[in-house]
Amino acid sequence: MLRRTLLSVATAAAALCVAGPVLAQAWPAKPVTMVVPFPPGGSTDMIARTLASGLQARLGQTFIVDNKAGATGTIGAAQVKRAPADGYTLLVASLGPYVIAPHLLKNVPYDATKDFDYITVAVQAPNVLVVPAASSYKTVADLLAALKKDPGKLTFASSGNGSSDHLTAELFWAQTGTQASHVPYKGGAPAITDLLGAVVDASFQNINAVIQHINAGKLRALAVTGDKRAALLPQVPTLGEAGVKGVDVYSWQAVAGPKGLPADVKTKLASNIAAVLNEPAVKGKLTEQGFEIVANTPEQFARFQAAEYARWKNVIETRKITAD
């Protein structure tokens, strides 16, 4: 009897030893925090909340969006870098913290090339070159002629130094051998307000920020910065079609985690995020706002991040752009 009891205890202990690692790998076994390094209400926050809702429904666990704004997104990104690499703290950010801020700011508290595991680029959206509706510039050629006639005279609004719209303008000027006066604002909303009022001459704005004004006839779209025409603006040429090469630019939102994520967690996240984004209702809603679904693999995102990192490093350094 005693021998049988000892044998049973030993068998149970052995079973627990085997089951322990299996149970430990059952991600997600507790709530997952998705850190957004910007205030609530913007595009990145909206994408994060869309993903949180969809992942919660698919995986049966709570996904919490935590807005940690500040320092061009680097405060929230650094928080994720310091978190345990267990899949329970994720970063949902635009391209800024991943490929722009490291070249623009001093003493960034993370290394974007080493401190994160890249999971997936969720969505992307082209920028649009827009002018006020009353502007005399009807085409990219018109605008280029004016830029070449009076270098530095025309004004281009942006949402701030080093923003995607600012860097797109810098790339545009570099590729066309022109120059304008950069007018940085504290955010996209005041920049668009002055565009609508014809206080400034032009701007590269994210498509989802200006599509309603274009459709209402308050802004004129001259070109999109994508490698193909935008579904929401099929009548508007790409910059490439307008004769300006090398300015294929997208804003994008993507998901990453601290370096060292378990491979199975990374794969599970990427596949489930792709499934959420491709649900007909979700995809339809995002497409209506100008987003294009990317949902690429961790390997594809890692290669993309490296290419974008090098590209914007070159633009920022050669154009001598600062955050001030």
Strand partners of residue 250: 126
pLDDT tier for residue 323 given thresholds of 50, 70 and 90: confident
Tell whether the model's pLDDT for residue 312 goes beyond 50.
yes
Cα dihedral 127, 207, 47, 247, rounded to 10, equals -10
Length reported for the chain: 324
pLDDT tens sequence across 39-60: 998 899 999 999 999 999 999 9
b/e 24-36 (16+ beta carbons within 10 angstroms → b): eeebbeeebbbbb
Average pLDDT of the segment spanning 187-212: 95
Q: Which residue has the higher pLDDT, 214 or 6?
A: 214
The CA distance from 267 to 100, in Å, is 26
Q: Which pLDDT does position 4 carry in this prediction? A: 54
Amino acid residing at 186: K
pLDDT of residue 24: 53
pLDDT in tens, 203-237: 999 999 999 999 999 999 999 999 999 999 999 99
Q: What's the pLDDT at 9? A: 47
pLDDT value, residue 11:
53
| Reported CATH class of domain 32-124+251-318 | alpha beta
31 has a pLDDT exceeding 50: yes
The boundaries of every CATH 3.40.190.10 domain in the chain are 126-224
The yes-or-no verdict on residue 20 having pLDDT over 50 is no
CATH 3.40.190.150 maps onto the chain at: 32-124+251-318
Give the pLDDT mean for 21-35: 80
Residue 163 or residue 81, greater confidence: 81
Return the pLDDT at 289.
92
Percentage of residues of the chain with pLDDT beyond 90: 87
Give 42 or 279, the one with higher predicted confidence. 279
Mean pLDDT of the 239-251 span:
97
CB atoms inside a 10 Å sphere around CB 64 = 11
Q: Looking at domain 126-224, which CATH architecture does it have?
A: 3-Layer(aba) Sandwich (3.40)
Q: Alpha-carbon torsion 46, 281, 248, 157, what sign?
A: negative
pLDDT in tens, 57-92: 999 999 999 999 999 899 999 999 999 999 999 999
pLDDT one-digit tens code per residue, 88-135: 999 999 999 999 999 999 999 999 999 999 999 999 999 999 999 999
